[in-house]
Each structure stands twice: as structure tokens, then as C-alpha cells.
Structure 1
Amino acid sequence: MTGKMEELPYALMSYNGGSKGFPQKYETIVKKHFQIIYMEEFSKNKNVYAPKIQAILVWWLQPVVDKELLDSLPNLKVIANGGAGVDHLDLKLISNYGILVSNTPGVGDDTTADMGMTLMFASARNVVEGNTASCSPDTKEIDFNWVGDDITEATLGIIGMGSIGYCIAQRAKAFRMRILYHNRNRRTQEEEAAVGAEYCSNMTDLLQRSDFVMVVVTLTPETHNLIGKEELQLMKPTATLINISRGKVIDQDALADALNKGIIKAAALDVTYPEPLPRNHPLLTAKNIILTPHFGNATHRTRRKVAEKTVQNASDILKGLPVKDIVTVP
């Protein structure tokens, strides 16, 4: 057994357990393919471990991969990211070292789409406020005339019709929603027909017509602050904005202002920048807002699948096997 362990390559990881560390229950997945070196141990014994490490396994944005770390790992060959988004990695810098980057697209599509729908329903039907009122020791009666918004047959505008956006459209179809979408590339007629989606080449059109706007784009320089003051003013005063992509896609100060002034009715965000927000951020006290802490793919099954895919990608790359989840430098 010891001999077999010695044959396994070394992988650097952030830390074990805690709020953002790699879950202990998934360690057995990694140990099938790698010997794990956590950052604390690495920092104490760099001379011993630095030449041995061939892979970095990134979990919840950690460890931070910068020039100093890359310079210290002469035999690093792959950085495997646990998740689809890689906006936290400097891909151009990493590519200069000849290191490959992999991610896990598709693994969390259904779970993230479920979260988008959950936020839409919770906001439309006052679930959070209703729970607070129902549980409050000060509540003597509930206002019978307290009503929410319909989901069924409402208009949903999806900004970003990639794999997750399409999963949302599939779910929305079951509620007979009118589906509009804006995307860099238009879907095929067959794909549009399957979910009853209408393409909007102009995002302005989508914003003006939608009762619910769901943002599902990848964070890039082009999508940074994609939804700002002007875009919010285009939306209906009865509309709700939902973001399950990245916090930087929305101008958060403009959103807080729009909510407080009634420019839009509500917002539900699973992502912010930073995470968590500073405790004095205006979004925390804005009207009609739901905030969740980046729960998009946070289910037991999906997180385990992400861990398995992350490790498998790194192992296959080191073995010279074909891996489809290689991230290309933009």
C-alpha cells in the first residue's frame, strides 16, 4: 500500500475543511489519484514539496494562484478548477508557464438552474417575508390581502442562454411562461421551439418586456456591470431581477438605488461582489431584496460530482489522456 501511494503524484490544495476549505468527506476522491499537500504544510516545507507538486486543485477560489506561487512550482502541469467559472484565474499568466487549466462545465447546470427558479419563486411569492412574519413572536394576525406575483404565464427574460440558461428555459416552459432570451449567439430554431423561446437581438427589448429578468452570463470584461443604472431604468417598475452568474455583472450600488426608488420592484441575488458583502453595503438594507450566499450548485450530489470531475480532469491530464474540459486562453 505504501509503495502504491508513493507512485501517486502530488496535488496542492488550499486547506482541509472549514467554511471554504476542501470538504473532508471528499478527500477519499482525491486520494485515489493524488497525494494531498495543503497550503499550510506546503508553506512550512516548500523546499521538500515544491519540486513534487504537479497539480493544483482549486476549490472555492482557493488557493490563490499568482506569480509567486507559480514561480515556486517548477513541475506544475495542471490547475484543475472545481466549478465552471474561471474568472478568478489569470489565464494569460498561467499559460505563460505552459500550464493547462481545466474546469467542470455542465456538472452543476441543473442544480444552478433550480436555484434560479427558487429565487424567482421566493421573490414573487414573498416566501422570506412570509416566513419572517409567520415566525415572529410579535405577529398576532396575517394580512389576508398580502399578495405576490404570478409566475405562471409571466414573461421571463433570460440574459445568457448557455447550458444553464437553457435549463432554466426548460423549467420555465412547464409554468407556461413566455420566454425571451438574449445571447451572443442565437440558438437553433429547433432549440428555441423546444422551450418556446423568442430571441431578442437587442437586450433593451428583453428588459422592457420581461416581468422577471434572469442573468446567467459568464463574467468577462464585456459583461462587467452589464446591468447598470440605464438597464435598470429600462425594466418595468413591476419587474424582478435575478442574478445567478457573478456579482460583478451587476452595478450593485445602482441596483440598491433602483430598489429603494421603486424603479424595479424586487431583486434576488445568489451572487454579490465581494462575498459576503460588507455589513454596511446599501444592498443589505434595500427594499424587496433576497440575498443568498452563492448556493448555485450547493447540493450534496452536485458538489461531489464537481469534486470527482475536478480530480479526474487533473489526473487524466497528467496521464496524457484526452480531456474535453481544457480552458482556452481568451
Structure 2
Amino acid sequence: MAKILCVLFDDPIDGYPKNYARDEMPSISHYEGGQSLPNPSSIDFQPGHLLGSVSGELGLRSYLEKLGHKYIVTSDREGSDSIFARELHDAEIIISQPFWPAYLSQERLAQANNLKLVITAGVGSDHIDLSAAVHKKITVAEVTNSNSISVAEHAVMMILSLVRNYIPSYKYVVEGGWNIADCVSRAYDLEGMHVGTLGAGRIGLGILKRLNPFGVKLHYTDKYRLAKETEKELNLTYHENLESLAKAVDVLTINCPLHPETDGIIDEKLLKKMRRGSYIVNTARGKICNQEAIVNALQTEHLAGYAGDVWYPQPAPKNHPWRHMPNHAMTPHISGATLSAQARYAAGVKEILEAWFANKPIRNEYLIVQNGELAGAGAHAYTTKM
């Protein structure tokens, strides 16, 4: 019998939903790029239901308990007296989501003497000390691609919200106003702007593809250059480094993993090299941006706007300065947690568990760490401090 410890976000304030906005969920046959969808032998949940909250349990309880495993699901994961901390010592498998991460530091991993497998339900495993996982030979896996386009769509929405000054305009309507001049005094067309992405993996490339019809000039930088055919198709300008990209664009969207090389890379020095009136959209990780530098750039109006779906820490405290800075369009970490995405990453977690319990290989694209080294998607995306 294995003990599986799962950390999920809280249920809705009014309780777990009794019904949903739609009767049917839009479906896709495969991911962009051709990767197949998760393919567990079966699922014990209804696609389109809220699976990522505590009561949703990722739809795993029936499956795990039929096999005789102990399944503990909680949202309480902060502090030494949390349920997560109390149950960690003998857990064999830990599951959590990037939106409500169970932070697994070197110290916490040292306490988890039985831990063999860590699964991220979604994409992004930087809440895990990967160097420590490599050292302890803990397998780390995530459901790669399951919510990449969900995030790309959210980023496009945020770009348009900033450039068109949508959120203040909506607020005037709610408050009973008709303040046309106030609304349009900060509104521009996206058409004709230069838009660039730091990181052109699945999410970054997904954003570029979706922005191409808007008549913008597209730029990117990435340690892996895209194929010439892709650059030609999207009329992309490649930059050798972030500084070159930042100087060239009106909108910078951040879509790279958080690791030692990207931690705090958007700092005051870089922001000063961007054009006055630029916008930044960050759906990657909060720590990629220096918190104070972003606030200062907005207050001095060097940046025209900042939109982010990611914070540090998560959840953000009520006094987090990004909640109160001017001209922002922040959301809690929801971009990759749509009901569509939840169905895919819940199925992917079950696929990983089925392979694990049957001693079969986990899909290479799901692997982050295996056998004491970065593997699969992890070897492509991350670096470690050894």
C-alpha cells in the first residue's frame, strides 16, 4: 500500500458546484505539435467538472482506494503544523498543482524519507527543489502540454486587456458611469505594435501563433532557436538575448521556466532599457520578475501596464504590492486551470500513476527528474544547482 498526499486549491466560497455554465466541454483530438492527449485506461470523473479543488480530488479517490492505497487530499500546506507537513514524512507520492503548489524545498524533501514520486498536475515543477530531487533520486513528473494553450489564451487576453484599457473601462460600467474619455485616454490598437516573448516553447509559440493575425510584428528569444520554417511562417525576428528583445518590443510576454538562470531576470536594469510605455505580461512564474522593480516602473510610468497570472509566494498575501500597483491586470494563478485543462491534467496524473504502479515507463515528455538526473521535458527546460 502506498500513501499518496495530494495538495489542491480550496473549493469555491459557496461550496462545490452543483451545476456548471455549460452542459458540454469543448474537446480536442491532440495537442498542437502532434503530442497525443493523456490516455489512462479509464477515468472516474466527468470532464468539465471542477477537479482541481479539494472536493474534486482530481477524480482519483475511487481508483486509488480500489488498489488499497491511502489517499489524503488537503489545501492546508503552509507551516510546520499544516496537514501537508504532518503527513509528509511517510508519503510515497506527492501530487500538487502549480496554482496552489506544495512547495518542496530541500528541507522538506529531507523529511520525506519514503518519497519516491512527485507529480505536478499541470505544467511547471519549479515549486520542487529539483537539485535535491536529483540528489535523492526522486522521480518528478508533470503533465506536459496539458494546459499550455490554456495559458497562451490567457496571455493573449491579458495583452489585449492592457493595451485596450479594458479593466478600467469595465469598472466604469459597473459603477454606473459612461466615461468614454477616461476609458480611451489609455487605449491603443495592438495592430502595428512589436510583441516579443521570452521563451518560445509550447506556450510562447502558442502566443505567437495566436497574435500573428493581429497585424503585429513578432519577436522572440529562446536558448533553442525555432525552425526556419516557423520563423518564416510567422515572420519572426529572433534575438540572441533578452536585452536585445526588451529594447525592440512594445509588449514583452514572459513564457520561460523558473530556474537559477531566470530567477529575477526582469530587473530594474533591464526595465530601464525597455521603451517608455511598454507592457509586460507574465504567465510564467512571479519570481522571474523583480517585485519592487515592477512596482517602481509602473509608479514612474515607465511601464504603461503589467499583467500577471503568477506571484511569489502563492497565494499572494493581502498586502502584496502587486495587488495595489497602478495600471495592472493581475489575476490569481488561473490561466492553466480552466475546466478544459483540469480534465486533461487529471487524466494525465492517472496515466502517470497507472504506469508507476505497473512498473512501466512514464512517458518521456512527462519526465522532469528520473534516476538522479534531469530527464525528458526537464532536461530541455530546467537547470539545477548542484
Distance 1:311 1:231 in 2: 42
Map of 2:239 onto structure 1: 200
Q: Does 1:11 pair with 2:11?
A: no
Q: 1:140 to 1:105 in 2, by over 3 A?
A: closer
Map of 1:62 onto structure 2: 102
Map of 2:146 onto structure 1: 107
Distance 1:68 1:206 in 2: 38
Structure 1 or 2, whichever has the larger Rg, is 1
Map of 2:278 onto structure 1: 239
TM-score by length of 2: 0.74
Q: 1:233 to 1:37 in 2, by over 3 A?
A: same
Distance 1:9 1:27 in 2: 17
Distance 1:303 1:96 in 2: 31
Q: Is the 8 A contact 2:11 2:55 kept in 1?
A: no
Distance 2:85 2:223 in 1: 43
Distance 2:92 2:295 in 1: 45
1:176-191 to 2 correspondences below 5 Å: 176-191=215-230
Aligned residues: 317
Percent of paired sites with the same residue = 22
1:37 counterpart letter in structure 2: I
Q: Does 1:146 pair with 2:191?
A: no
Q: 1:222 to 1:68 in 2, by over 3 A?
A: closer
- Following TM superposition, by how much is the alpha carbon of 1:300 offset from its aligned partner in structure 2, in angstroms? 0.3
Q: Does 1:121 pair with 2:152?
A: no
Q: Is the 8 A contact 1:155 1:212 kept in 2?
A: yes
Gaps of 5+ in 2: 13-50, 75-81, 375-383
1:142 counterpart letter in structure 2: I
Q: What are the superposed Cα offsets for residues 32-85 of structure 1, whole Å, 9 maximum, x if unpaired?
A: 245313468898899xx94xx5422223312746655664553x4311121221
Q: Is the 8 A contact 1:170 1:195 kept in 2?
A: yes
Distance 1:65 1:12 in 2: 16
Q: What are the superposed Cα offsets for residues 261-287 of structure 1, whole Å, 9 maximum, x if unpaired?
A: 121211111112223444444433322
Q: What are the superposed Cα offsets for residues 148-207 of structure 1, whole Å, 9 maximum, x if unpaired?
A: 111123210111111110000100112121100011121110121222211011322221
Distance 2:173 2:294 in 1: 28
Q: Is the 8 A contact 2:305 2:327 kept in 1?
A: yes
Map of 1:174 onto structure 2: 213
Query: More deviation in 108-117 or 316-325?
Result: 316-325
Q: What are the superposed Cα offsets for residues 70-124 of structure 1, whole Å, 9 maximum, x if unpaired?
A: 64553x4311121221111122323333321111121111100001001001111
Q: Is the 8 A contact 2:258 2:288 kept in 1?
A: yes
Gaps of 5+ in 1: 1-7
Q: 1:16 to 1:146 in 2, by over 3 A?
A: closer
Q: 1:326 to 1:144 in 2, by over 3 A?
A: closer
SS at match of 2:56: helix
Q: 1:204 to 1:315 in 2, by over 3 A?
A: same
Q: Does 1:326 pair with 2:330?
A: no
TM-score by length of 1: 0.85
Q: Is the 8 A contact 1:248 1:273 kept in 2?
A: yes
- Following TM superposition, by how much is the alpha carbon of 1:321 offset from its aligned partner in structure 2, in angstroms? 1.5
Map of 1:253 onto structure 2: 292
2:102 counterpart letter in structure 1: Q
Q: 1:177 to 1:245 in 2, by over 3 A?
A: same
Query: More deviation in 77-86 or 14-23?
Result: 14-23
